[in-house]
A and B are shown apart, each in its own frame.
Chain A
Amino acid sequence: MGMRFAAGVDVGSTQTKAVIMEDNGGGGPRLVARALVDTGANVQKAAEHGFLAACREAGIPAQEVGFVVGTGYGRYKITFGNTQMTEITCHARGAVFLCPGTRTVIDMGGQDSKAISIGAKGEVLDFVMNDKCAAGTGRFLANAADVMGVSLDEVGPLSLQGKQPVKITTVCTVFVESDILSYLAQGKKAEDILNGVHMAIARRTVSLARRVPIEPQIALTGGVARNIGMVRALEQVLGATLQVSAEAHFTGAIGAALFALEKMDQSFESAIWRPAHA
């Protein structure tokens, strides 16, 4: 079979991530291209745009992509995909690819956070996710940034400058606004408030993650991995070092693409394969 390229498309609640990967024999899988688009109201379209953008980036026509695995909340909306897998399975796979030796994955997405415990061979042993409300997820941070009029890229570095973090009571993404407003009214410094916000999320996330055994190495995945303030806050609460790949944001999509590569391989007698739209 001549196909070399496979794609993974991770349709999240805020952003859609797509990657193209290539398996050129002995060298193992290689990341060829990635694309990031806002999910917006039309999930099908976002998935398609993301996928095509990645193809463009890779410089190949879409037809050359032999297999597409969808993941993320919108995975069942990917009409052009071949199959779907949950983001838990994909994140585990992607994290082991990006940071070999990973035994624990902590992922912070827009609406949910999760922790995955991974075996020596990269298999998912155990996982937990937040429930019912978006307390303490990435959205919490986005909202805090919004209220304070700071861009999401700045909040992390700024929070590291905080020397006297404020105490944040709520973990409700909406209520945090009033907490922040009253601290601003009290004249607290932006960096101290942000530091408090980061610590609140870190504590919440770690307390969730403790439900699975946290073994080193620990990889942080998801968009929030780019936020150095969050990385430090998590490390402080965990008392351990986090592995952060430059591609952490694309972990789910990469995991999906790796599965797609496997599916393309005829010799792999897939136990997992299911028709699309199952």
Chain B
Amino acid sequence: MRKVAGIDVGSAVTKAVVVSDAEGAAVVVGRGSVRTGVDLEKAAADALAAALADAGWQRGSVDYIATTGFGRSSVSFRDLQVTEITSGARGARRLFPSATAVLDIGSQCTRAITLAENGKVRGFKTNDKCAAGSGSFIVRAAKYLQIELGDVGEIALRAENPQPISSICAVLAESEIINHVSAGVSVEDILSGIYDSLAERASMLLKRAGMGQELVLIGGVARQKGMVRALENRLKVPVSVPADCEYVCALGAALLGLKRLETQLSAASCQS
């Protein structure tokens, strides 16, 4: 039995997953997460410890550690590092085996990934010029409209007459929101408009990355139902959201780690 950990060192939260191949196929046996803070190495170690505790395994009992996320290179005890695009695609494909595209909408970055038949990354695009079209747009709107972030998605679903938001800057869009509010537009309609404008940008990225027929949505906004609906409306394809979307990249890293470990072991056995 091989034990492998995947650790996703994100800018806000670090997530770890431990998998084992005891039953012939990789199974997740534990998960854990901690706030990242400024010490990335420590965050990775703590998240791993939490995942091991969750699995009921001892510290130091994993055979291989793969890291991903923004702090992936800052973890000295790693065996392998992959980007969150590679790991996200791998994790999403594991959870939805027929998925051909993955959208990862985080607070600052949106990534669109298309998958080849065997689940490899075929193409990808990220928003890199400015934060327009990233999740922070919603965070700002919620703050401005004085709504709990967790409620935003539900509220947007009740919109009757969504108002478009045309500004390309997440910050300047606020003045558009102000205009809508002052003009008496309902909060529902404004939020729905925001989701639609996010969905429009995400769709464009996805189309430029090569589209796909079945879409998995991961990242911070995946939990928000308004976002899911806006994407479905725009792309006309089914959108699935993993139950634990925070752990998708960590899972993907662990799976890639397991694969790498197997390759190494078989190479070693060939040599010996």
Residues of chain A touching chain B, judged by Cβ–Cβ distance below 8 Å, are 13, 39-44, 73-74, 77, 111, 132-135, 137, 139, 172-175, 177-178, 181-182, 184-185, 187
> Which residue of chain B has the shortest Cβ distance to A76 in the bound complex?
B182
Please measure, in the bound complex, the distance between the C-alpha atom of A133 and the C-alpha atom of B170, giving whole angstroms. Answer: 8
Given A43-B181, A111-B171, 4 more A-B residue pairs with CB atoms under 8 Å apart are A43-B182, A111-B175, A139-B171, A187-B38
* A-side contacts of B171, CB under 8 Å: 111, 133-134, 137, 139, 173-174
Given A41-B146, A41-B181, answer yes or no on A132-B168 (Cβ-Cβ < 8 Å). Answer: yes
Inter-chain contact A134/B182, CB cutoff 8 Å: no
- A73 and B175 in contact (CB under 8 A), knowing A134-B169, A178-B11? yes
Q: Chain A interface: which of B47-55, B82-90, B128-136, B151-159?
A: B128-136
- The secondary-structure label for the interface of chain B is loop
Taking the complex as formed, is B108 at the interface, i.e. its CB lies under 8 A from any CB of chain A?
A: yes
Shortest C-beta distance, B11 to chain A (Å), equals 5
Task: Find out whether the CB atom of A181 lies under 8 angstroms from the CB atom of B175.
Answer: no
CB of B214 to closest CB in A, whole Å: 30
B145 on interface, CB distance cutoff 8 Å: yes
Question: 17 pairs across A/B with beta carbons < 8 Å?
Answer: A13-B175, A41-B144, A111-B171, A111-B172, A111-B175, A132-B169, A133-B172, A134-B171, A134-B172, A137-B171, A177-B108, A177-B136, A178-B108, A182-B70, A184-B38, A185-B40, A185-B74
Q: Is the CB of B130 within 8 A of A74?
A: no
- Partner-A contacts on B (CB < 8 A): 11, 38-40, 70-71, 74, 108, 130-131, 134, 136, 144-146, 168-172, 174-175, 178, 181-182
Q: Whole-angstrom distance between the alpha carbons of A40 and B187 in the complex? A: 13
Complex alpha-carbon distance, A4 and B103, angstroms:
62
Partner of B178 from A41, A139, A173, A174 at Cβ < 8 Å: A41
> How many Cβ-Cβ contacts under 8 Å join chain A to chain B?
69
**When the two chains form the complex, which single residue of A13, A40, A137, A174 contacts B130, counting CB atoms closer than 8 Å?**
A174
Say which residue of B39, B70, B131 sits within 8 Å of A175 (CB atoms).
Answer: B131
Residues of B within 8 A of A134 (CB): 169, 171-172
Which of the residues A174, A181, A185 comes within 8 Å of B170, measured between beta carbons? A174
CA distance in complex: A74, B71 (Å): 43
Contacts of B144 in A (CB 8 A): 41
* Bound Cα distance A175, B136 (Å): 10
CB within 8 Å for A111 and B174 given contacts A42-B182, A175-B108, A187-B38: yes
Query: For chain A, what secondary structure do more than half of its interface residues adopt (helix, strand, loop), or is it mixed?
Result: loop
Q: How far apart are the CA atoms of A178 and B136 in the complex, in Å? A: 12
Residue of B nearest to A112 (CB): B172
Given A13-B174, A174-B134, A181 and B11 contact (CB-CB distance below 8 Å): yes
Q: Give Cα A139 to B178, complex, Å.
A: 16
A133 and B173 alpha carbons, distance in the complex (Å): 9
A267 CA / B11 CA spacing, docked (Å): 63
Given contacts A74-B178, A185-B38, contact A41 B108 (CB under 8 A): no
- CA distance in complex: A159, B151 (Å): 37
Residues of chain B contacted by A139 (CB below 8 angstroms): 171
B151 CB to closest chain A CB, in angstroms? 15
Q: Smallest distance from the beta carbon of B105 to chain A beta carbons, Å?
A: 14
Q: Which residues of A contact B38 (CB under 8 A)?
A: 184-185, 187
Q: Which residues of B contact A42 (CB under 8 A)?
A: 181-182
Q: Which 9 A-B pairs have the closest CB atoms?
A: A174-B131, A134-B171, A133-B169, A43-B182, A41-B181, A184-B38, A172-B130, A173-B171, A174-B136
Q: Return chain B residues, CB-CB under 8 Å to A41.
A: 144-146, 178, 181
Question: How far is it, in angstroms, between the C-alpha of A178 and the C-alpha of B21 when the chains are bound?
Answer: 36
Partner of A172, one of B39, B131, B175: B131
Query: Roughly how many angstroms separate A42 CA and B108 CA in the complex, as a whole number?
Result: 28
Docked-complex contact A44 and B182, CB < 8 angstroms: yes
A132 CA to B146 CA, complexed, in Å: 25
Interface contact A133-B146, CB-CB below 8 Å: no
